[in-house]
Structure 1
């Protein structure tokens, strides 16, 4: 099969915002300090005023991770919330190298009121200072703590959902695999937004998205190398670090996956959905025409972004009904 280097076109409305944002398509390791110091238009700066305006309250909990180190969780819920409702556990994006537990969560604020839900988001440690398995083990430690404290948190243990986007989508998938294999908290679903699943750099979409958009092939190599070092692309990479390597996806919860047609993660997302179906797992897949990586966060008012938000919420409606 011949792979063309001509990519599908970007959605024009979203692309107009991308041009204005002037975000470099390729992230290199030397850019990491600056990336961490500024949002680059990518991470949400969630303030106390924003939480108040959204009718939400947050508190922090410090828990031990797998190696005894302390990590933080933020617990967010509607002001005055009573009763029991779903739990939403969040793993943030940032290429395994940047971002924090607040990144990307603003579009989910409405879910907390809609479902009387509790939101738990984890501050996992970042590569390259903390390479694999630390990020996914931190995420699992937070999920395990959440599962152990459902009564205290007012979470229905039968309605615990894991959500992540980009690197956070890969970490959510890896955490779900760990929960399955360690008999950890039972998940009702996993919502994987344009997930970072495959370290091997062998798909058609990685060839097509090179030097364009956001988070291109070069950025992806940077992120996976930060996480895995010399193991990237080799035989010694676990399924929890790179879930695309898993050959057995049986026993996983109902899954929602989406991605853009014009992003690096397109083909690995489609392949993961196919593997889930082959394993008998209920999965819903959306490939948004013209979507580049993170199109919904960068251009939330574009029609394709509004459709993506609505489709995710529709899936959650059916999951939590």
Structure 2
């Protein structure tokens, strides 16, 4: 993919992003070690950062004064292969501050050492830990959303499906940034020559294959493993899906948004021109990222305060 296809504001940053050696064990170990040590940004005024109980894999961002009673369970990205709560420190702290909501960011076991359902089981456990700690955190169990980025957004989408099937307290919204929703994309070999920036189809095939423990794109996938494989999307919570128009995941995100709407689920699809995968994370200080994050937080804030009638699903481009 040529640089002239990318928004001018993002070109310099994307040109510096290296190709990650994720197919090799040593490469994954190296990237994981570097990610754990990485904290994005400094402290955010007005937000206290701690852990939930004694679990360092559950990081809690609390607005000073306790917030509004709303909360968000956040799931980091990394293609199911890498990633850590540390990488989203600044994002989670700013989100907590701007929305007046408690944000709980969770780690999960990574593939290929821990294939499905390990990651989803961990995210489900984090959801229940958050709800069980509602009184201590000062939150309303009926005002909790689930969200994430990339593979984390795919896990969040699968989480809401599983919670729907299990019953009990449901998320009030699903908040999905460049979600990794469909393993069948990885099986489309015609996408390989495109060389999508940041996350291409070769990496996608590695991630899905490691997570599923099988070649992606097969005739069937386990229940709750691949969000886009679910036949019936009715009854799921309102969704916001944001993605760049030159992201590998653009088509699967658009299709999922359309299927949600067809199933009667309120869904906003925010398509950003000239934006590669995860741009808001690696170029957060650009105007294009600020615009996406402002729209996303406005949408989520409306759901968390119970004013969903003020914001209806649509498409932003």
TM-score (norm: length of structure 2) = 0.87
Q: Cα–Cα, structure 1 residues 226 and 83, in superposed 2: closer, same or farther, change >3 Å?
A: closer
Correspondence for 1:14: 10
1:29 lines up with 2:14 in the alignment: no
Query: Which stretch has the larger CA shift, 144-153 or 84-93?
Result: 144-153
Deviation at residue 237 of structure 1 after TM alignment: 1.3
Deviation at residue 111 of structure 1 after TM alignment: 2.8
Secondary structure (helix, strand or coil) at the match of 1:163 reads strand
Deviation at residue 155 of structure 1 after TM alignment: 0.8
Correspondence for 1:78: 63
Correspondent of 2:253 among 261, 269, 275:
269
2:58–2:106 CA contact under 8 A, matched in 1: yes
Unaligned runs of 5+ in 2: 306-317
Q: Deviations over 1:25-72 (max 9, x none)?
A: 774234212221224xx995158xx33655323124357xxxxxxx83
Q: How many residues align?
A: 304
Correspondence for 2:241: 257
Correspondence for 2:43: 51
Q: Cα–Cα, structure 1 residues 169 and 44, in superposed 2: closer, same or farther, change >3 Å?
A: farther
Correspondence for 2:312: none
1:298 lines up with 2:282 in the alignment: yes
Deviation at residue 278 of structure 1 after TM alignment: 0.7
Query: Which stretch has the larger CA shift, 7-16 or 155-164?
Result: 7-16
How large is the Cα RMSD of the aligned pairs? 2.7
Secondary structure (helix, strand or coil) at the match of 2:51 reads strand
Query: Which stretch has the larger CA shift, 300-309 or 122-131?
Result: 300-309
CA distance in 2, matches of 1:156, 1:58: 19
Correspondence for 1:230: 214
1:315 lines up with 2:299 in the alignment: yes
1:205–1:265 CA contact under 8 A, matched in 2: no
CA distance in 1, matches of 2:62, 2:125: 21
Secondary structure (helix, strand or coil) at the match of 1:104 reads helix
Correspondent of 1:132 among 91, 116, 119:
116
4+ residue segments displaced more than 4 Å = 5-8, 202-206
Deviation at residue 275 of structure 1 after TM alignment: 0.8
Unaligned runs of 5+ in 1: 64-70
Correspondent of 1:151 among 135, 147, 164:
135
1:159–1:188 CA contact under 8 A, matched in 2: yes
Secondary structure (helix, strand or coil) at the match of 1:128 reads coil
CA distance in 2, matches of 1:182, 1:8: 47
1:188–1:319 CA contact under 8 A, matched in 2: yes
